[in-house]
Amino acid sequence: MIFGVELIEELEKLDPHIRSAFLKILKIIEKTIGEVVKREDFLELKKEVELLTKSVKELAEAQKRTEQVVGELAEAQRQTQKEVSRLDKALQELAEAQKRTEEALKKLTEDHKKTREHLGGLSHTVGYILENEAYKHLPKLLMEDFGVKIAGRLLRDFIEIYDGRFEEINIFGKGIKNGKKVVILGEAKTQLKKSDIDSFLKKVVKLDKIYPEEKLLILVTHQVANPYVFKYAQQKGITKIYLSYQFV
């Protein structure tokens, strides 16, 4: 056999498909050469075989490096898939957490709405109680403080300021002062603020044309937001601020 053991060993390192193709080629070469090869040709052929052996060896090394690179790429791919898997899991957990947060926030919003509605109802209740106390005690206080005798009774009323437009007044009534008619306009607030005074006076302006006679502007409250409220009310022409503890 003209092909050395070294070449055969190198061929063994190749991929089975490549190795099979090389072996077929070598068998054809060996069969063709037979015994007709001259010594010079044989020596030349030997050199070619050595070169072929070297090429096969280099090819085997290249294949080995390729397999190593492929192995590294495969490992990198596995690591990437693991990272992607962990990322997917983390995103799913985040989505679940977001969903739970949204549900909790929705419930909190609903609870807050109910609480506000409850507090609003409670505030109205406290306000109505304050108004009811004002209706009972103001006639006596207005007589003592301003000599005003209430005609009829004080009440909450809706006064039409023009066609289809009404203004709600917490405390409304008519009376007599020094033989003249007066109108009592008032507002009841659990805690009186400067802004409440401004809002009340806007209502008074709208009622001026309907009730041009003298008006007593009365504010009733449990407490004022700050001491300046009294001074501000006086500056704005409020007749009197009554505090609920005076209703005894």
Mean pLDDT of the chain, nearest integer: 81
Contacts of 4-10 with C-beta under 8 Å, sequence gap 24+, read 4/49, 4/53, 6/53, 7/49, 7/52, 7/53, 7/56, 10/53, 10/56, 10/57, 10/60
Task: Please state, in angstroms and rounded to a whole number, the distance separating the CA atoms of residues 157 and 165.
Answer: 13
201 three-class SS: helix
pLDDT tens readout for residues 76-135? 888 888 888 888 888 888 888 888 877 777 777 676 666 565 444 445 555 578 888 999
Look at 124 and 172; give whichever has higher pLDDT: 172
Residue 161 confidence (pLDDT) above 90: no
In the chain, pLDDT over 70 holds for what percent of residues?
76
CATH, domain 147-246, list 3.40.1350.10, 3.40.366.10, 1.20.1730.10, 3.40.50.1970? 3.40.1350.10
Residue 38 confidence (pLDDT) above 60: no
Phi, psi dihedrals of residue 87, rounded to the nearest 5°: -65, -45
**Could you tell me which residues come within 8 angstroms of residue 181 by beta carbon, excluding any fewer than 6 positions away?**
174, 175, 213, 214
Task: Please state, in angstroms and rounded to a whole number, the distance separating the CA atoms of residues 197 and 224.
Answer: 11
Q: pTM (2 decimals)?
A: 0.53
Q: Work out the number of other CB atoms within 10 angstroms of the CB of residue 79.
A: 10
Residue 223 confidence (pLDDT) above 70: yes
Mean pLDDT of 42-63: 71
Of the listed ranges 29-38, 117-126, 163-172, 196-205, the least confidently predicted one is 117-126
Q: Where are the domains of the chain?
A: 1-124, 147-246
pLDDT tens readout for residues 185-198? 999 999 999 999 99
- Quickly list DSSP for 97-139: HHHHHHHHHHHHHHHHHHHHHHHHHHHHHHHHHHHHHHHHHHH
Of the listed ranges 10-19, 178-187, 227-236, the least confidently predicted one is 10-19
